[in-house]
Amino acid sequence: MSHRRILFCAGTGCISSGALKTRDALVSELEKRGIRDQYEVVLSGCHGFCEQGPLLIVHPEDTFYCGVQPEDMAELIDEYLLNGRVVERLLYKDPVTGERTSDHMKIGFYAKQKRLVLHNCGVIDPENINEYIGTKGYEALKAALKMERTAIIDEVKRSGLRGRGGAGFPTGMKWEFTFKTPGDKKYIVCNADEGDPGAFMDRSVLEGDPHAVLEGMIIAGYAIGADEGYVYVRAEYPLAVKRLRIAITQAEEFGFLGSNIMGTGFNFKINIKEGAGAFVCGEETALLASIEGERGMPRPRPPFPAISGLWGKPTCLNNVETFANIPLIIREGADSFASVGTERSKGTKIFALTGKINNTGLAEVPMGMTMREIIFDIGGGIRDGKQFKAVQIGGPSGGCLPAELLDLPIDYDSLTQAGAMMGSGGLVVMDENTCMVDLARYFLTFTQNESCGKCTPCREGTKRMLEALERITEGKGESGDIPMLEELANSIKDSSLCGLGQTAPNPILSTLRYFRHEYEEHILEGKCSAGVCRNLVTYHIDAEKCTGCRACTRVCPVEAITGDKKQPHEINIQVCIKCGACMEKCKFDAVILK
Amino acid sequence: MSQVNLTINGIPVQAKAGMTILEAAKTVGIDIPTFCHDPELAKVGACRICVVEVAGARNLPAACTVPVAEGMVIQTETERVRAARKTILNLIWANHPQDCLVCEKTGSCKLQDYSYRYGVSGSIYKGQKKEIPFDDTNPFFFRDLNKCILCGKCVRKCHDINGVGAVDFMWRGFKTMVTTPFDVPIEESSCVFCGMCVDVCPVGALTPKQGLGQGRSFEVDKVFTTCPYCGCGCTLYLNVKNDKIVGVTPNFEGPINGHLCVKGRFGWDFVDSPDRLKTPLIKKGGQFVEAGWDEALDLVAEKFKEVRAQYGADALGGFSSARCTNEDNYLFQKLLRVLGTNNVDHCARL
Amino acid sequence: MKEALKCYTEDPFDYGPVDSVLAKYKDQKGATIPILQAVQDEYGYLPYQALERIAKVLKVPFSRIFGVATFFAQFHLQPRGENIIRVCLGTACHVRGGAKIVEKLQEILQLDVGGTTADRKFTLESVACIGACGLAPVMMINNDTFGRLTTQKLAGIIENYGKETE
């Protein structure tokens, strides 16, 4: 029997779903049968399909099992591994067709993806450098070290790669500026302070393929003439930090990092800095301040970090996904890279699909794919057969786009034009039960909380916008609130110091642009159609659906529900405190909102 | 240094490369409002009141931080700029007490001046306001952080100029405040009460205690003088109303320091103190009695002679004051040597 | 806010841990944040005396150290519970009902967000996103992640960490 490889996804998602326990069960079952040595059991990085975790993939045939529990392992070995009979019930079931699929790449979630940056994620053991080297790892570095520095920069420029962190600044130009700034000491900084709620691609890349990021950084260091780099990682990502540390040690042992790299005389070292919990540190100047040990308050630009960055030295900052693209560009060539994507946005982009969508997870797609393809083909559509309402792109700095824009090809420019932005690539899908005013309120709560407090428009303005939204969602809105919000939002956008403040009004401006009627409905009619804003809804019992089972009366904390056994119940809306306990408890969907 | 050509409000301007828009505008007499800017301090671009419109820029950059560039076309008072400034003023007012009638700063308050300039009368925004207890625990100044607009000038003065660093920003976002570690009263902090922070505060958050209610800035005459406290010779302005000193303003342009210390800044009340000695006093029969200078000096000379005759010249010693000038001190040691002793010292040496 | 600043001091204060952290990082550039992190790991929070000592050794004004300590969400100026419950309120969790999870936890623990139980067993916090959006709604207790939460599951989970339910 040939040597087989069993991969367990060991991303944060699958680990919290119990992947390690299932792995232990598999190993012990294999041992029991005395066949442990015939199988290679590997913990890989994230496969992106967190929704279905824990995930298990058997190579070479690439059979994909999901939701695997420790008690399933005996059956999996006896049926599948030993006898080749696929365990149907552990296969992925398409939420729409109900069909089960065993072939990994035929699953809708994966079929339309183009996994270039993620090609190693979920395939190799991220804690073993040999596996990375086995998939052409560090070949780009070898090639780059033989190139002229300017030739590397030209190659990156020609590839058309734009920063994956949000604003989409051309990476090659950034490198060139830093290269051209004179200085005896320069720094490379990798921004891994992925703070956008609803985005976790950087985390997955760091957890699943840390060497790709390191390789990108080393190449950047060589190209711009830096000998030191920092990775600034969120402290909330302990697994990413751990794998990065292992990767750095291994790269040093193999001579890809440290002094005299691969005998070329080039020195480069990489330090890890763990963040301490501040969203604004994703902003480059705030990030630098934080590395220097200061409060993470943004500094005015110019001077840009390329001129005066970390400790006043020329510094090139890129985000994780950007660096992970670099080995690919150098190895495969700029032309090959630029053949994917749109006119002005090249390559692929990793999106984090979350919210009311069937297939939550990470998907890497070519730039220019439409939102419809991403949400419906890859994402498997909306949960529970509900209606698509909107998608929030780019986190708290981004915007909400409505169903009319589903066929918009996604790239940097189309999104900005539509009032959203690429941001880090979070895609949060909303259905008919999402209130857009409440969503705007949610984002403002976030940005207001994360405002560093330095500049007036952001510190004071986000607070006032949030208060206005709170009033509206509580049914206390006034007709002047909409123009006031618009004016305030535009001034904040115009006059704030950093990107956080300048983009903080986006969720309001975009929801006002596409869902103005929801604001008007809240203010003028005192109604929340989505049934989210507690002050604006009342709970009722649908007499036709109610069976009189009494389940609701038992959970109601204020005894607002009355009715005889086996007779339809009623809610006294004067007494009801709208806690929603009855609705959650009812098995017959008889509790409704009006 | 090389020159760049630009236009501000249609006026062609030639500015030195490296100058900020704010500085270039000043050279042609265009005034751009500022709260957090101070030529002596690091540029932070925090208050945003100085935003201007630069052709081709997406947002409104801050004039105090952006350097001029060749061919720049700048407008400092367009509708868009005015709208942003009004919003900023309205936002400040939404979180600022409206008690100008009794505020000591009235008349020299930038918030008032710009509100007047842009026609902002209190805030159009309602909501939560800061409620920070008033700090009057020290003898020198009041600290009303509810009036603080977080321009951070006091922080930069305290850290970068004075080097004490008694206060800094703490917390973040809407909760941000400038205060001492663990928010202890300023008197319990490392503050040395130089008053630099009071001098640069653009609003009424930091105001001197002395002179409270005794004169608005537009009612006082400024009398230029030299601080009498030590030989440094810092110059300052006495703020005088009806022939009474009601305050002191440092002479920021002065060749010496430009700042004052706690004594020069706050120690002027001796001038009109009823306890002040105005004539020499001689103890007669156990009581101090007022005397004339001739009588007093004769007495001193007589006693010196007696001591020298009885115990020798080295029984005499002279102790001079830091309040004297260098010249005074020179003459003083000369006098002691003429008396025959080298026993001369000075309080600043201790 | 004043309450948060109540000065927690231990008397006599054990300077051992802070001094050994300082000895390790003293010569590193920009080490303020790693030092604060390490000191918090030692004491569970940032005591007044430790901050004062850090300022003194680094030759930085106390106010600056304090400013950094209050800027970042990770740092705490008062002791916290044995178990830290962090409920994710990221976007994905928000649209899938994270707020209800917080409410239920507040009810179970009788705590406000940011508070610590009287027996110092639990501290309840919210976090902007822990990047496990696939499992929304999510919470972390110490370093364990719990996903696909429902309000019904909470009491059972908390019980495993030593909360007696009545």
pLDDT along chain A (594 residues), means of 10: 80 82 93 90 85 87 90 92 90 84 84 91 92 94 96 96 89 96 96 84 92 97 96 88 96 96 95 90 93 94 93 96 96 95 93 88 92 92 90 87 93 88 87 90 90 95 96 92 95 94 93 95 92 86 88 84 86 83 84 83
CATH class of A4-111: alpha beta
ipTM for the complex?
0.86
Which residue from A8, A20, A101 is spatially nearest to A55, judged by alpha carbons?
A8
Q: Which pLDDT band, with edges at 50, 70 and 90, does C1 fall under?
A: very low
Euclidean distance between CA atoms A12 and B112, whole angstroms: 55
Inter-chain touch C128–A294, beta carbons under 8 Å? no
Note the CATH number of domain A129-338.
3.40.50.11540
Q: How many helices (H) and strands (E) does chain B have?
A: 8, 15
Domain ranges of chain A: 4-111, 129-338, 348-431, 436-525, 538-593
Euclidean distance between CA atoms C87 and A320, whole angstroms: 26
Euclidean distance between CA atoms B198 and B148, whole angstroms: 12
Residues C24-50: tens digit of each pLDDT: 998 888 899 999 999 999 998 999 999
pLDDT at B1 over 80: no
Q: What is the mean pLDDT of residues B51-69?
A: 94
Say how far residue A313 (Cα) sits from the centre of its chain: 31
CA atoms within 13 A on the CB side of B125: 32
CA atoms within 13 A on the CB side of B183: 20
**Which DSSP symbol is given to A404?**
G
Inter-chain touch C63–B165, beta carbons under 8 Å? yes
Which residue from A312, A331, A314, A427 is spatially nearest to A370, judged by alpha carbons?
A427
Q: Which helix (H) or strand (E) holds A42?
A: strand A39-44
**Which phi and psi (to 5°) does residue B221 adopt?**
-95, 145
Cis peptide before C12 (omega within 30 of 0): yes
Altogether, the residues listed in chain C come to a count of 166
For chains A and C, CB pairs below 8 A equal 138
The residue among B101 and A563 whose pLDDT is bigger is B101
Residues in chain B with CB shorter than 8 Å from the CB of C63 are 165-168, 170, 180-181, 189-190
Q: How are strands ordered across the β-sheet holding B53-54?
A: B11-16, B3-8, B73-75, B53-54
Q: Which pLDDT band, with edges at 50, 70 and 90, does B27 fall under?
A: very high
Q: What pLDDT, on a 0 to 100 scale, did the predictor assign at position C10? A: 59
Note the CATH number of domain B223-274.
2.20.25.90
**Which phi and psi (to 5°) does residue B84 adopt?**
-65, -40
Q: What pLDDT, on a 0 to 100 scale, did the predictor assign at position C3? A: 45
Within chain B, all domains assigned CATH 2.20.25.90 are found at 223-274
Residues in chain A with CB shorter than 8 Å from the CB of B44 are 299-300, 454
**Is-contact B180 C63, C-beta < 8 A?**
yes
Q: What pLDDT, on a 0 to 100 scale, did the predictor assign at position C166? A: 43
Euclidean distance between CA atoms A123 and B3, whole angstroms: 59
Q: What pLDDT, on a 0 to 100 scale, did the predictor assign at position A238? A: 84
* CB of B127 less than 8 A from some CB of A: yes
Residues in chain B with CB shorter than 8 Å from the CB of A488 are 87, 125
pLDDT at C7 over 60: no
pLDDT at C71 over 80: yes
A:423-442 residues touching chain C, CB 8 A cutoff? 426, 428, 430, 434, 439, 442
CATH architecture entry for B3-77: Roll (3.10)
In B10-83, the DSSP E strands lie at 11-16, 53-54, 73-75
Determine the topology of domain A436-525 in CATH.
de novo design (two linked rop proteins) (1.20.1440)
The closest CB to that of A491, out of B45, B62, B83, belongs to B83
Neighbours of chain C (3+ CB pairs under 8 A): A, B
Inter-chain touch B173–A448, beta carbons under 8 Å? yes
**Which phi and psi (to 5°) does residue B254 adopt?**
-60, 145
Residues A27-50: tens digit of each pLDDT: 999 999 999 988 999 898 888 888
Which residue from A333, A380, A336 is spatially nearest to A354, judged by alpha carbons?
A380
pLDDT at C5 over 60: no
Euclidean distance between CA atoms A295 and A281, whole angstroms: 9
Residues B118-156: tens digit of each pLDDT: 999 988 898 999 999 988 889 999 999 999 999 999 999
Domains of chain C: 6-71 (1.10.10), 83-159 (3.40.30.10)
Q: What pLDDT, on a 0 to 100 scale, did the predictor assign at position B239? A: 94
**Is-contact C146 C138, C-beta < 8 A?**
yes
pLDDT at C163 over 90: no
Inter-chain touch A463–B59, beta carbons under 8 Å? no
Within chain B, all domains assigned CATH 3.10.20.740 are found at 3-77
Q: What is the mean pLDDT of residues C120-139?
A: 82
**Is-contact A472 A519, C-beta < 8 A?**
yes
Q: What is the dihedral of CA A304, A310, A316, A318, to 10 degrees?
A: -100
Grouping H, G, I as helix, E, B as strand and the rest as coil, residue B83 is helix
The residue among B255 and B334 whose pLDDT is bigger is B334
Note the CATH number of domain A538-593.
3.30.70.20
Q: What pLDDT, on a 0 to 100 scale, did the predictor assign at position A98? A: 82
Domain A348-431 part of CATH 3.90.79.10: no
Say how far residue B32 (Cα) sits from the centre of its chain: 22
Grouping H, G, I as helix, E, B as strand and the rest as coil, residue A271 is strand
